Structure 1
Amino acid sequence: MKKLYTILLVLLVAGSLNSCSKDDITTTGTYSAKDFDKSLKVWAAYKTSVNNSYTYTTLRQSFSSNNSETQLTVINGEVTKRDYVNFQYDGASSTHDRIILKEWHETPANLGSHTDEGAAILTLDEVYDKAKNVWLKADTKTNDIFFEAKNNGILSTAGYTLKGCADDCFFGINITSVTAL
């Protein structure tokens, strides 16, 4: 469902770009540097208010129903825990219950031991930095760039998709929640 909204959003943005002059177009997708800077200020204030101790959860969804969530725990600015769950939805259920395929938990003693699964071990400061310097700097000639701040002003989506790609083309991060500890 989220992919459908993304596709519709891309089509709406592309349609609205036709009414602008070429000089007005600096990016494609939903990214604006002004929105990023505003979100970064919200993040800085929140981080201070929670003593840089929080959890955040990332979500990866695939057209093939292979979905995963990773929750990272940050205490005093250091990632201390990472929890991962791989799941698919029960299509037969009217509530679309999750079927857990795999899960694991990392603590300070084994943090980073699952190298081929789960979100990267990053604080939100590092996520903002990667967003600004990698994901949101993708070439707009070949990519649509996206940025949203739906976590009370804190980053929720930052990344890009290859233009014309239909399935599993997103490079970046989707954060579904940020919670104080």
Structure 2
Amino acid sequence: MSNDAPGTTTGTADREGPTPLLVLDVVGLTPQLLSHMPNLTALGKQGARAPLSTVLPAVTCAAQSTFLTGTMPAEHGIVANGWYFRELGDVLLWRQHNGLVEGDKLWDAARRAHPGYTVANICWWYAMGADTDWTVTPRPVYYADGRKEPDCYTRPPPCTTN
């Protein structure tokens, strides 16, 4: 794997602006399943791809934080999908603020290499409060009576289509 900053490719002809970067997190996707996904396979062949192994603990939030920082859970601090709050005596699952993840994210490195690099963060955990240009992520509303209502967090608010 290259040590280049995201959005930078070594050994390519000069081009206008940085190389676009797309990081896809498809839970449970294995190389064997790509034969059933021709469009995703074609996308991978046009750019770069690399094999990944999981982290321990192998849970959504720890794995995604490793993808986004390039560091292990011991460094980025995400070791579970929930947090124990001593003052409440309770575990709260699926906290979403980006400030919980320690260290630089991919877009921090990309922007150091290319000031003004445009970043969209779509449906990754820990997206809220991230220093991205656009953010869209699920943000369900949980009611005291146990009901759950789907909702989205968007930045800039509201992200709408015309």
- TM-score with structure 2 setting the length: 0.25
Larger relative contact order (Cα-Cα within 8 Å, sequence gap ≥ 6): 1
Structure with greater proportional strand content: 1
TM-score (norm 1): 0.24
